[in-house]
Structure 1
Amino acid sequence: MDFTNYSLDGKVFRFFWNRQLHFFFARLSLRCLLTWGLETNSLSHRIALTYLLQKGLKTNSLFDRLALTYVVNGGIKTNSLFDRLVRAYLVRRGLETNSLFDIMARAFMHLLKRRRQTENFFDQMALMYLVRRCDEAVHKCMSVRGFSDVADFAEVEGRKLIDRNLERISKTPLAFQTAIFAVSCRSVEAFHEENTEVFEYVAELGYWTGALERLRQLDKEKNFEAD
């Protein structure tokens, strides 16, 4: 695609045009697994999630890791003495539990990206289990909810992309218009993509559609304020 006839903010354009969606797809697949997985109460499922968590955590504290592993495996949902102790420990250590999903998703993304290069036995076993179970969960999600669940989640994620990068794209009017142009191009590209699975097609199209809708909403708000 030739963009030489357009006046663009190069950095903003490259940010969107070159953006890879590996993390988004890892989050989406893991979300399907947690929501639609066929054996979410099994020991294998718990081991796989724990493995992702341990791969993704940056803390070297054994007690931090144990406490967060307990949370991932369904802990601190009651008012038992042990749960209260774990909650108190998390607060005292300043450990955020809201980000655990993203930590596991990022670890899953790295495993997927290295799947053909890794020689680590445990990585291979985790990948074998997670990919199979995620595929099953995606199939169940699509068969029960159709495209709506995937598309809705993707659109929300696309809108979040814009919100996270508002400062970057709002520095100048040119930067903002470049963002609209670049995201529009990605939306068109996703719409015309032929060599992809239905799940990936719906997800990617929904992602860029959500991002474009958010940009247009912000553009309308800016024009309204100017009037």
Structure 2
Amino acid sequence: AAPPKPEGQWAESAQRYYRMEGVYMGALENRNGFVPIRQPGSKWYLSEEDLPSGSPPIGTRYLAGWGYLLSRDLVHVLARTSAQWHLGAVQSAGEEQSGRSGEDGAEFRNSPTRNHTGPPYPQAPAWYRALPWEDVLVGTLLQQHGAMLQSHRGFSPAWRPCPEYTIVHHLDVDAPALMEALAAQEASGLWNIKWVQCTSGWHAAGSYEQWKRWRESLAGVEPI
């Protein structure tokens, strides 16, 4: 079912001045799109066997998962698509347990179970099972449905500074040390009028490589 439309005078005014549909906004960290990390020591490691080079969704552009904005209609797109695929997997698994399944077992399948009277479920592509990250999945699914991503400067990655127009900042490993101080600066209104310090690292503001080296020099931090 389609998401309900806002009602009332406020909703009419908001719809006149703001986009209420098709909103996918956040930080585009990887401008060349998704590239699997092949270093085994990385927590984001993905082997060639898991996702071969050149396979989709490699190259797909997506917004970073630590913070992005979705309009309700796109949330429904994601929920509907994933529900179809997951329901297909559950039904296939049920067939296997009852002795009615073929070799596919719990794999995603095109055909529904014998007890299902609705339309066939679409088969989930191979990359859906290979990707462990919600942000790449979200970007891929939305762009397959024609959604356009919008990179907004107010969404600030961990290696960038925090100016007064910041909407969301990714603290990453700095969260335990800086969360309380940043919350106080936001509550006082200071963050609304000036830049604030939002990293404890020695890296230059805006340098991903320096930030990464600093991050991985910390004890007990898993490499990325």
Q: Same fold by TM (over 0.5)?
A: no
Identify which of structures 1 and 2 has the higher relative contact order when contacts are C-alpha pairs closer than 8 Å and 6+ apart: 1
Q: Which has the higher strand share?
A: 2
TM-score category by the smaller chain? under 0.3
Greater Rg over alpha carbons, structure: 2
What TM-score do you get using the length of structure 2 for normalisation?
0.27
